[in-house]
Amino acid sequence: MQVSRSMLFEMYRRMMRIREFELVAIDLFKRGELKGAATTYNGMEASAVGVCMALRQDDLIAGTHRSHGHSIAKGADLKRMMAELLGKVTGYCRGRGGSMHIAAFDTGSLGALAIVGAGIPIAVGAALAFKMKGEHRVAVPFMGDGATNTGDFHEGLNMAAIWNLPVVFVVENNQFAVSTRIREAVKIEDLSIRARSYGIPGARVNGFDVLAVYEAAVEAVERARRGEGPTLLVTESYRFEGHYAGEPEVYRDRAEVQEWCKQDPICLFRNHLVEQEEFSQDEVAAIDVEVKRDIAAALKYAKESPDPEFSTAMDFIYA
């Protein structure tokens, strides 16, 4: 598949943004500045970016408790993202959501929903609205491997299938549902075969390879946009961090993690750009510098932003 040079640049930029954002999030959490939990996306950047680069601005995504990457990949503003992590009033959700609930409606991100599987029915409903209104838009619920065992998954894929809705269900198999390996939780090795039972296509791609994800996503998104119905797309990767930053990870050993980290999607893509796409090292390094600068600016913005006023605690309450 031909991918333009500017598109390749943008893919790399967004993957780097996610990585650098998450490194800051982990650091903030360890310092106690990020409250609650930081469930990070390191290792899975190619999945969100490969899919979101296949989407238009007006397509919608729904996320999970591990969704910083999805919003950034869809184009969310880093400053408002970072401010939300720190619970600031300038954050996307004005400090009401935090890390697990960042929504960026201005870029088509319906929100990170921290109940596993919950984004699936919501995306199906958004796609129903698109179809009823005759809009050629696509809805993408992202979910982890663990979500494939929920009722939402079964109900949602079935409903989208019978109504031929423009949905691309993206399962990001990072091998773990908290501590439970996917092979303990399902009897099959390839999650994409579940598509067959709904009468829809299923595809499985290397989730460390952004171009492979992009190619599969383009096919699924175009199919949905043509009105031919939903697709189940499974991206295979690995969660480099624990379930949350600082989690003890007693269920896996470091050697295993290090082995998987050899497939770091950003390193792989950087090498690809230099070796196959005639990017110079300097060009790639310039993006790294730009991203680090943007993340630093976002962090500064977030830290300097005010907390929500206590007097606004009941804003957005109607019942």
Binding site for other proteins (CB under 8 A): 60, 62, 91-97, 101, 103-105, 110-111, 113, 115, 118, 120-130, 132-133, 139, 151-152, 155-156, 158-159, 162, 315-319
CB of 64 to other proteins, least distance (A): 13
Which lies closer to other proteins via its Cβ, residue 28 or residue 126?
Answer: 126
Which lies closer to other proteins via its Cβ, residue 150 or residue 263?
Answer: 150
Which lies closer to other proteins via its Cβ, residue 150 or residue 180?
Answer: 150
Which lies closer to other proteins via its Cβ, residue 184 or residue 316?
Answer: 316
Q: Specify the residue for token string 């397509």.
A: 59
Whole-number Å distance between alpha carbons of 268 and 262: 9
H/E segment holding residue 210: helix 210-225
Whole-number Å distance between alpha carbons of 282 and 284: 5
Tell me, what DSSP letter sits at residue 240?
A: S
Nearest to 144 by CA among 114, 166, 187, 124: 114
CB of 221 to other proteins, least distance (A): 17
CB of 111 to other proteins, least distance (A): 6
Q: Is 220 exposed, middle or buried (0-12, 13-18, 19+ CB in 10 A)?
A: buried
Sheet holding 202-206, edge to edge: 109-112, 60-63, 139-144, 168-173, 231-236, 202-206
Tell me, what DSSP letter sits at residue 308?
A: P
CB of 261 to other proteins, least distance (A): 34
CB of 66 to other proteins, least distance (A): 17
Per-residue tokens: 251: 């269920």
CB of 135 to other proteins, least distance (A): 8
Which lies closer to other proteins via its Cβ, residue 127 or residue 210?
Answer: 127
CA distances from residue 26 to 37, 134, 146, 244 in whole angstroms, order as listed: 9, 43, 23, 9
Which lies closer to other proteins via its Cβ, residue 50 or residue 141?
Answer: 141
Q: How many C-beta atoms surround the C-beta of residue 154 within 10 A?
A: 16
